Amino acid sequence: MVISPFAPSPYVLPDPKTFDDLDEHEGLVAIGADLSPQTLLDAYQKGLFPWFNEGDPICWWSPNPRCIIEPQHFTPHKTLVRTAKKNQYTLTLSGAFPEVIAACAAPRVYADSTWISPAIQAGYTALFGAGFAHSVEVWNTKNKLVGGLYGVQLGGAFFGESMFSRETDVSKLAFWFLMRLCAHSGFAWVDCQLENSHLMSLGAQLISRNDFLNDKLPTALQQPVPDWTPLKSLRLNSGALVEADLFRLNRTL
């Protein structure tokens, strides 16, 4: 059970396990509520996540199938390993969360609009402040933020939300770091929510909604919360990603 520091949400989101016809609605469970940190916490514990277009009402989803990736089985492509070994980038954990989520919200070349609204950013930044959300940052040799990702961490589960990249392959470096971190922490899976070709190329897999809601999610939520605080002091050269003892705290980089 997740212990929340926030006041209770005035909204009660439905439990997707009580629905028989979700597939008829493509996994849409509810419309409305708000994006306060407590509502978000309640949603993730039920296997829901918000996703909607700018200007539309808030929509809460539990898709079938669900896209996940098992971090202990993640294998980076050879080209990514070569990029990492060049040591042209530095990686940090939760060192610039507001900047990462703002970068993820910026328009992409393939879309002018974004679903990461100011309310989304405020809600997840509040989760970050309470220790329930984390980011991975990638910095170039000029110490400019050029890539990263963010997501929600509850118990032994990480729910990936979005990533961005301003240079080739840097979001993949952030993803590799996340895989190493979650494997190090004993996480059996990372939630990728919805299938896309990029995620599948990284080794993601599809499982049924029933498996996610009734087995994987409750098991992960019962796991103890890892303490990632000491790791926030690390600034890792990208080449360290290939090392077996990536997260030793006495490294000199």
Within a domain: residue 10? no
In this structure, the answer to whether residues 169 and 227 fall within a common structural domain is yes
- Residue 121 corresponds to which tokens in the numbers above? 């950013």
Q: Are 171 and 40 in contact (CB under 8 A)?
A: no
In this structure, the answer to whether residues 44 and 144 fall within a common structural domain is no
Model confidence, pTM = 0.94
Q: Looking at the DSSP assignment, which residues form a beta bridge with residue 236? A: 91
In this structure, the answer to whether residues 31 and 120 fall within a common structural domain is no
In this structure, the answer to whether residues 55 and 165 fall within a common structural domain is no
Q: Are 213 and 45 in contact (CB under 8 A)?
A: no
In this structure, the answer to whether residues 134 and 156 fall within a common structural domain is yes
In this structure, the answer to whether residues 115 and 211 fall within a common structural domain is yes
In this structure, the answer to whether residues 59 and 77 fall within a common structural domain is no
In this structure, the answer to whether residues 58 and 75 fall within a common structural domain is no
Residue 206 pLDDT exceeds 90: yes
Backbone phi, psi, residue 157, to 5°: -130, 140
Q: Looking at the 3D structure of the chain, how many domains does it have?
A: 2
Q: Name the burial class of residue 152, with classes exposed (0-12), middle (13-18) and buried (19+) by CB atoms within 10 angstroms of its CB.
A: buried
In this structure, the answer to whether residues 90 and 114 fall within a common structural domain is yes
User: What pLDDT, on the 0 to 100 scale, is given for residue 67?
Assistant: 98
Within a domain: residue 226? yes
Mean pLDDT of all residues belonging to the chain: 93
3 state DSSP class of 80: helix
- Going by C-beta distance under 8 Å and a sequence separation of 6 or more, which residues neighbour residue 196? 67
C-alpha span between 203 and 175 (Å, rounded): 11
C-alpha span between 175 and 80 (Å, rounded): 11
Backbone phi, psi, residue 63, to 5°: -75, 155
Residue 251 pLDDT exceeds 50: yes
C-alpha span between 147 and 104 (Å, rounded): 9
Expressed as residue numbers, the domain containing 100 is 67-242
Mean pLDDT of 162-169: 96
C-alpha span between 139 and 38 (Å, rounded): 32
**CATH number assigned to the domain comprising residue 29:** 3.30.70.3550
C-alpha span between 43 and 198 (Å, rounded): 26
Residues 111-140 have pLDDT tens digits of 555 789 999 999 999 999 999 999 999 999
In this structure, the answer to whether residues 97 and 179 fall within a common structural domain is yes
**CATH number assigned to the domain comprising residue 157:** 3.40.630.70
User: What pLDDT, on the 0 to 100 scale, is given for residue 252?
Assistant: 44
Where are the alpha helices (H) located in 37-136, listed in sequence order?
Answer: 37-45, 78-85, 97-105, 118-129
Within a domain: residue 183? yes
User: What pLDDT, on the 0 to 100 scale, is given for residue 253?
Assistant: 41
Q: Name the burial class of residue 81, with classes exposed (0-12), middle (13-18) and buried (19+) by CB atoms within 10 angstroms of its CB.
A: middle
